[in-house]
Amino acid sequence: MTTPEPATPEPAAATQPANREPATQAPAPWREVFAGARGRLTIGLLLLEVLVAIQMLVVATVMPAVRDELGDIQLYGWTFSASGLGQFAAIPIAGHAMDRFGARRLLAVTLVVYSGGLLLAALAPSMLVLVFARLIQGIGGGAIYAVSLGTVAKTYPEEIRPRVLALLAAMWLLPGLIGPPLGAALASTVGWRWAFVAPIPVLVVAAVLTFPTLPDAIADRETRISLLPPLVLAAGAGMFLAGLTDLSPWSIPLIVIGLAVALPALLRIVPKGTLVARRGFPAASAAAFLLSVSFVSAEAFLTLMLTSVNDRTLAEAGVVITLVTIAWTIGSWWQSRVAVSRDLGGLVALGSALVVVGTLAAAGGLLHWPLALPYVGWTVAGLGMGVAFPTIQLSAMNAAAPGEEASELSSVLLMDTLGVAVGAGLGGASVALAEASGAQLRVGIAGAFAVGLVAAILVLAIARRLPVGRSEAAGSIAPAA
């Protein structure tokens, strides 16, 4: 599964920092989450979460059918990268816009943008147009994510928020069960284009439930945050990945310019020392980026491998997306129960080790080893992601200063989103280079898996540098507990 559009923070019972007094207030009853107008708002937010999740998983399933009709295998990875870059650019802008203009206005614009992306994708005459449509979808999906979390923060009482976040996180399980079979069924009957049209009625229902109960108060029209660095970074990363996709004497300057544009912007966004994974917040940001790269660079091409190399049907290939979603949920559930008493660095090391093992096993499909191996292997990788992914966010939350959790966590969330785009882009570049050189498709997909494997190994290497408390976030060199 593609890494969830940046995922809803894990609501685990395990978000209590080790260096603070545990909360004594009992969780709010579930009935309060669904009472009256608040209940309609909750259902609307859950529908939006389900919609984005199903759309992601359906697209991951039907992309081999899209490739068969539209061709341009060089742009295959870009259908995932464009969405990730759109999300990366949209999240900080949408958060700022919500503070200034209110949730209701922002969501109205967001749903129009997202729906426009869906319609354009359904009508796309070429892979290039589909890539542009996916960019628009990513912008809309990133804004939906910002609106959802912003609404939870601004509208729900503090004692109810954990319940709502738990529900938002749980909404990824159902899409994992029905998304891939739905995508395969649409592609094999009415056609893959309907996979982009089908969510629109759900958007309408979510809007009807959500709009009347959204807060429309404007907190501070004078709020100012720096929006330019994320936009510049997204543009630079896009140029860099575009140059890699079609390597030639003409694309080399594009690669160089992309790096020259992206790196200074990146350094303005992330904590100092992120590029070398210095202990504390820098290591958390680096780990979030690398973990997303490790998963997406392989997962974006897994169904393509199963259909084009192993001759499986879309329905059979979609099973692996379902399995990895279930495994991710199980891993997150286990992590939420043990994170209070376990070394967080150790949990990230365990999760990344499972991703390494799972990636190696899944790559066995390229060698025509037993077909069960990719399914079992990627399920193991999903289990590892369920353990490591929320733990990285938790380590940053635990180290944040009181009252500054959201701002200090933002670099970790943005690096996670950037990792989605870069992972898919590097995997896509590998496939494109193999196509351009006349090599077999399996060679390009092997390169994508190699990118994921190297990134997962790097996460394993820096796992013990993650912060465990505010002292480490501030740069303490004390060993992790």
Same domain? For 277 and 265 the reply is no
Tell me the CA end-to-end span of the chain in Å, nearest whole number: 32
| Distance from C-alpha of 441 to C-alpha of 311, rounded to nearest angstrom | 13
User: Residue 13: which pLDDT band, with cuts at 50, 70 and 90?
Assistant: very low
Cβ atoms of 420 and 292 within 8 Å: the answer is: yes
- Alpha carbon distances (Å) from 477 to 395, 469, 481: 16, 12, 12
Instruction: Specify the pLDDT at position 166.
Output: 66
C-alpha 415 chain-centroid distance: 10
Same domain? For 331 and 459 the reply is yes
- Alpha carbon distances (Å) from 433 to 243, 446, 456: 11, 12, 23
Instruction: Specify the pLDDT at position 400.
Output: 64
- Looking at residues 262-274, what average pLDDT do you find? 85
Same domain? For 208 and 348 the reply is no
Residue after which a domain boundary falls, among 199, 221, 243: 221
Is residue 16 a part of any domain in this protein?
A: no
Residue after which a domain boundary falls, among 162, 196, 221: 221
Is residue 260 a part of any domain in this protein?
A: yes
Same domain? For 234 and 298 the reply is no
User: Residue 107: which pLDDT band, with cuts at 50, 70 and 90?
Assistant: confident
Report which of residues 215 and 144 the model is more confident about: 144
Same domain? For 277 and 243 the reply is no
Cβ atoms of 28 and 163 within 8 Å: the answer is: yes
pLDDT in tens, 277-299: 898 888 988 999 999 999 999 99
Same domain? For 245 and 322 the reply is no
- CATH for 102: 1.20.1250.20
Instruction: Specify the pLDDT at position 217.
Output: 54
Residue after which a domain boundary falls, among 221, 254, 281: 221
Same domain? For 100 and 74 the reply is yes
| Distance from C-alpha of 199 to C-alpha of 326, rounded to nearest angstrom | 22
Cβ atoms of 94 and 230 within 8 Å: the answer is: no
Instruction: Specify the pLDDT at position 180.
Output: 86
Same domain? For 262 and 292 the reply is no
- Looking at residues 233-251, what average pLDDT do you find? 81
Q: Is the pLDDT of residue 169 over 80?
A: no
Same domain? For 315 and 365 the reply is yes
Is residue 11 a part of any domain in this protein?
A: no
Is residue 44 a part of any domain in this protein?
A: yes
Question: What is the DSSP track for 285-314?
Answer: HHHHHHHHHHHHHHHTTHHHIIIIIS---H
Instruction: Specify the pLDDT at position 474.
Output: 40
pLDDT in tens, 350-371: 999 999 999 999 999 998 888 8
pLDDT in tens, 119-162: 999 999 999 999 999 999 988 888 887 787 777 767 777 667 66
Cβ atoms of 378 and 299 within 8 Å: the answer is: yes
pLDDT in tens, 17-76: 444 444 445 556 667 777 777 788 888 888 888 888 888 888 888 889 998 899 888 888
Q: Tell me which range, 190-194, 351-355, 388-392, is most confidently predicted by mean pLDDT.
A: 351-355
Same domain? For 216 and 288 the reply is no
How many domains are there within the chain? 3
Same domain? For 287 and 254 the reply is no
Rounded mean pLDDT of the chain? 80
Q: For the full predicted model, state whether its pTM sits above 0.85.
A: no
Q: What is the share, in percent, of the chain residues with pLDDT greater than 90? A: 22
Cβ atoms of 124 and 133 within 8 Å: the answer is: yes
Report which of residues 203 and 479 the model is more confident about: 203
Q: Tell me which range, 24-28, 103-107, 259-263, is most confidently predicted by mean pLDDT.
A: 259-263
User: Residue 408: which pLDDT band, with cuts at 50, 70 and 90?
Assistant: low
Report which of residues 218 and 102 the model is more confident about: 102
User: Which residues constitute the domain of residue 248?
Assistant: 226-269
Same domain? For 262 and 410 the reply is no
Is residue 106 a part of any domain in this protein?
A: yes
What is the torsional sign of CA 132, 134, 136, 139? negative
- Looking at residues 398-424, what average pLDDT do you find? 73
Is residue 77 a part of any domain in this protein?
A: yes
Question: What is the DSSP track for 376-398?
Answer: HHHHHHHHHHHHHHHHHHHHHHH
Is residue 250 a part of any domain in this protein?
A: yes
Of the candidates 63, 62, 87, which has an alpha carbon nearest to the alpha carbon of residue 4?
87
User: Residue 414: which pLDDT band, with cuts at 50, 70 and 90?
Assistant: confident
| Distance from C-alpha of 54 to C-alpha of 419, rounded to nearest angstrom | 21
Question: Quick one: DSSP state of residue 3?
Answer: P
Question: Quick one: DSSP state of residue 16?
Answer: -
Is residue 388 a part of any domain in this protein?
A: yes
Least confident interval from 223-227, 263-267, 414-418: 223-227
- Alpha carbon distances (Å) from 414 to 229, 271, 286, 418: 11, 12, 11, 6
